């Protein structure tokens, strides 16, 4: 995952790369559970797509139906590589912890 996320971050546009460097966009990884966080839905969408592309190079496929989106902005739109909008949730579980908006 470290190599995949490195490759994905190298393929971000300048604005999203800057957000990543500032800590406004990032990830928490534990085994195969990955949490992506960001202050901009555009940056999260770009990073998600970059992760999908990098994953394909390693023979990994991201299952969009298993993604969970928790946002404090009800207007936030995060899209997959296919342009599919990720459904927002009121609650999200990560490593046994419950998060809510």
Give the count of domains, the chain: 1
Does residue 76 have a pLDDT over 90? no
Examine the pLDDT at 2 and tell me if it is beyond 80.
yes
As a whole-number percent, the residues of the chain with pLDDT over 70 amount to 98
Q: Which two tokens stand for residue 32?
A: 């195969």
- What is the torsional sign of CA 57, 68, 36, 17? positive
The pLDDT of 65-83, averaged and rounded, is: 76
Looking at 7-73, which runs of residues are DSSP E strands? Answer: 25-30, 33-38
pTM here?
0.83
Distance CA 101, CA 86 (A): 16
More confident residue, 70 or 20: 20
Mean pLDDT for 18-32 is 89
Task: Give residue 80's domain range.
Answer: 2-100
């Amino acid at each position: 995952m470290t190599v995949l996320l490195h490759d994905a971050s190298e393929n971000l546009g300048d604005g999203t790369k800057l957000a990543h460097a500032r800590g406004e966009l990032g990830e928490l990884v534990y085994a195969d559970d990955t949490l992506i966080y960001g202050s901009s839905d555009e940056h999260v969408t770009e990073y998600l797509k970059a992760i999908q592309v990098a994953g394909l190079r390693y023979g990994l496929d991201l299952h969009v139906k298993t993604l969970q989106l928790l946002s404090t902005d009800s207007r936030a739109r995060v899209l997959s590589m296919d342009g599919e909008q990720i459904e927002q949730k009121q609650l999200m579980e990560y490593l046994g912890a419950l998060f809510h908006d």
